[in-house]
Amino acid sequence: MAVTEADAAAHVLLTERLRLRPLARDDAPQLHRLINDWEVARNLGSVPFPYTREALEAWIATTAEDRAAGRAFHFCITGRAEEHPLGVIGLTRVGPDVARVGYWVGRRYWAHGVASEAVARLVGWAFGTLGLDRLVAYVADDNAPSIRVLEKQGFRFTHEAEHDFVSRGGAFPVRWFALTRADWLAASGHGSPAGDPLSLGEDRPLVLVSAVALIDSDGRVLIARRPEGKALAGLWEFPGGKVRPGETPEAALIRELREELGIDVSAACLAPFAFASHAYESFHLLMPLYLCRRWQGTPVPREGQALAWVRPQKLAEYPMPPADRPLVAMLRDWL
């Protein structure tokens, strides 16, 4: 599901050392100096050399339009403490759920991990906030450092081709790479099931989570999209959370709904419906699902998550964690 225009425009992405923010006209002088370096420009397909200040300012102006339209999201890379530009990074949509990653960093900032840190942050935002399913990128065949940046973030080589490089005056061999949401999740230990789901093993603890399908008067079900920074970010799920030691599943759910959505629910209004048992790579999840039609208050997102009221027949269109997906079919059939 795409991020709203307002969300995209407001986003400033932070890392331990960096700030990724929308580009501004005032960035042009410093970026112009950094990009008019043959060692930088030779690796950028659409950038001429030399690159005029007027052309750069015109391109910066288009980034705001692209962002507002959801076509592309470009960021100026700066330090956390200092605002002067270090380079540029961005995503350009090439399909409904696919975007191309592009980035460059001024030569004086090479070999300091700037590109790797920026790409890692952008990847998390792409999957966790934009809800994309696949990222692609191409790199000049002789650009070994940039290839290492992509491989470090889990991008896999897909094929070789040729691409026009304006600065080099024609076509040049490139390598294409791709990273899927599934591979990104698997790398975090939340991908496909591992091993026998009935055999936990010493290194896969049992995690008990309580969830609820809130059903409104129109028969719609509330689901929440996990925010950026959390495991399984960008996927939609039924509201709920972990059961703490000494809690019952109902008590945990009442607490979580108050904390996450600002609503009050009585245990008498929680009807047990089904449960999920799913083996992730690093733990085994057991999740009872309750039904609830009565609560006090209006659900509002309190922890950065997005909310959606969805018809049961449409739930399957929303990407969900593996543990939640079997519950969707049962819920659809029951409602």
Provide the CATH number for the domain around residue 269.
Answer: 3.90.79.10
Q: Which strands form 170-180's sheet, in the order they lie side by side?
A: 13-14, 18-22, 72-79, 85-95, 98-105, 134-140, 170-180, 156-165
Count of structural domains, the chain: 2
Q: Residue 140's domain spans which residues?
A: 5-187
Question: Across all residues in the chain, what is the average pLDDT?
Answer: 88
* 326 within domain boundaries: yes
Report d(CA 86, CA 129) in Å as an integer.
24
Are 60 and 149 members of one domain? yes
Q: Is position 87 within any domain?
A: yes
45 and 164 co-located in one domain = yes
Instruction: State how far the Cα of 206 lies from the Cα of 115, in Å rounded to an integer.
Output: 38
For residues 177 and 161, the answer to whether their CB atoms sit within 8 Å is no
Residues of the chain with pLDDT under 50: 1-9, 192-202
Contact between residue 103 and residue 118 where contact means Cβ atoms under 8 Å apart: yes
Residue 113 phi, psi dihedral angles, 5° rounding: 75, 10
| Judgement on whether residues 181 and 109 belong to the same structural domain of the protein | yes
Do 65 and 6 meet the contact criterion of CB atoms below 8 Å apart?
A: no
Q: Name residues whose C-beta falls within 8 Å of residue 25's C-beta, 6 or more positions apart in sequence.
A: 57, 60, 61
| Distance between CA atoms of residues 7 and 185, nearest Å | 23
CA distance 277 to 325: 11
Mark whether 41 and 181 lie in a shared domain: yes
User: Given this model, what pLDDT does residue 166 score?
Assistant: 92
Regarding beta strands 72-79 and 156-165, do their DSSP bridges make them parallel or antiparallel, or are they unpaired? unpaired
pLDDT value, residue 240: 94
DSSP string, 76-97: EEEESS--SEEEEEEEEEEETT
CA angle 86, 12, 98 (to 5 degrees): 90
Answer yes or no: do 110 and 252 share one domain: no
Q: What is the CATH number of the domain that holds 179?
A: 3.40.630.30
Residues 210 and 163 grouped into a single domain: no
DSSP state of 215: B
- Same domain (yes/no): 158, 226: no
What pLDDT is recorded for position 5? 38
Does some domain include residue 199? Answer: no
Domain-embedded: residue 10: yes
